[in-house]
Amino acid sequence: MSAVHPLIMIKKRGAVMSNEEKHPTAENVSKEKGDKKNKPKSFLETVREIDEKERKREEEIEEKRRQILDNRRKKEREAYDKKIYQERIELMRLKQGIIDESETIHEEKDIKTKNSLWKRIGNFFYHNKWWLVITVFITAIFGYMAFDYFTAIHPDMIVMVLTDDQTLQSTNDYLSNYFEQFIDDINNDGRIHVEIYNIPVDDNISVSEYYNGNMTKLSSQFQMADAIMVITDAVANKTILADDTLVNLEEIFPDNKNVRNTGFYIRNTDFMEKVGYTGVVLDRDICIGLRKPVKTMDSKAEMQENYDIALSVLKKIMDDLPYVQKNRTFDTKAEGGMQ
């Protein structure tokens, strides 16, 4: 037997090994799988396994708790239904007179607790606070109105001074004192008072309306029944349409020398001396007149009542101021009043 060269042996072995690697046997495959099973787990795989186990355990605990609650509720419901059923039976037996008293159904008596006085007052204010606020507000309004009504001075008569004569426009107190001599306590408030309304009327009253509002005041007064007596002049008579709005005094006092048409003219009288002025002679066209009683915003009956009062006062004034011939003078010396 001839000897084999060593190089030839190595080549044969390499050829055999390469064939085994190319075609692994079953034994080699099983060995590889065993090696993979024995490979240690990674950190993430371990965490996932722990989380999954915790989740399953919590679900089991929640399911047990739910079952316990359901069983408890079921028992309570069954017990309640049983109690209601028994009470219905007892109630039917009571109504039918089978039994006189029931051990399960008892009459409930209201137990009234007695609160202290301050607690009852507090409860009243708490439950009625809004009604109390409204009541206090309304009471305050009516209280103020009542106070204003009983404390305010209510005139027995109102006189409108429509002439723009500066002397007459500045003698309110003296005019009031003079007219108060001829009137009684009409409103029975224990005092006599004549109110003077100054509404000077001139040729420019419409132009100056924006500044003083005299035209608005005049219109408002002529829509009410309070002020009957007026002191006017030619310009004022033209503005108020005296022939239509004032009474014709000449028909009532035909023998009075100071009366012409709708006015009692006071130039030729001692009117200015009576109100505290000496030596002052008024313009010829200044006179006293009375508004006709007609239906205004107030009733005609109310205006007629005020007209009767004013007419009575005017009669007394005429008796107090007879005709006296006077000439125009510029002497404005005053004894008791301001010029």
Picking from 51-60, 125-134, 148-157, which range would have the lowest pLDDT averaged per residue?
Answer: 148-157
* Sole residue written with tokens 């039994």: 99
pLDDT in tens, 135-144: 889 989 988 8
Does 228 fall in a domain? Answer: yes
Does 326 fall in a domain? Answer: no
Average predicted confidence (pLDDT) for the chain: 80
Pair 147, 162 in one domain: no
Place 110 in a pLDDT band, splitting at 50, 70 and 90.
low
Domain of 53 in residue numbering reads as 42-105
Does 275 fall in a domain? Answer: yes
Pair 124, 98 in one domain: no
State if pTM tops 0.85: no
Distance of CA 222 to the CA centre of its chain: 33
CA distances, 198 to each of 110, 167, 286, 309 (Å): 75, 12, 15, 20
In this model, does residue 108 exceed pLDDT 60? no
Q: Are strands 194-198 and 157-161 parallel, antiparallel or unpaired?
A: parallel
What's the length of the chain?
A: 339
Does 95 fall in a domain? Answer: yes
Measure the CA angle with vertex 37, ends 33 and 41; round to 5°. 140
Q: What pLDDT is recorded for position 329?
A: 47
In this model, does residue 109 exceed pLDDT 70? no
Calculate what percentage of the chain has a pLDDT beyond 90: 34
Mean pLDDT calculated for residue range 160-171: 89
Pair 284, 139 in one domain: no
Mean pLDDT calculated for residue range 204-214: 68
Pair 85, 137 in one domain: no
In this model, does residue 128 exceed pLDDT 90? no
Pair 99, 148 in one domain: no
CA distances, 327 to each of 186, 270, 280 (Å): 38, 12, 10
Place 334 in a pLDDT band, splitting at 50, 70 and 90.
very low
Picking from 47-56, 75-84, 140-149, 263-272, which range would have the lowest pLDDT averaged per residue?
Answer: 140-149
Pair 265, 212 in one domain: yes
pLDDT in tens, 288-328: 999 999 998 888 899 999 999 999 999 999 999 998 876 65
Counting the structural domains of the chain, the total is 3
Which of 203, 103, 193, 197 is CA-nearest to residue 157?
A: 193
Which three-class secondary structure string do you get for 157-176? EEEEECCCCHHHHCCHHHHH
Q: What pLDDT is recorded for position 301?
A: 92
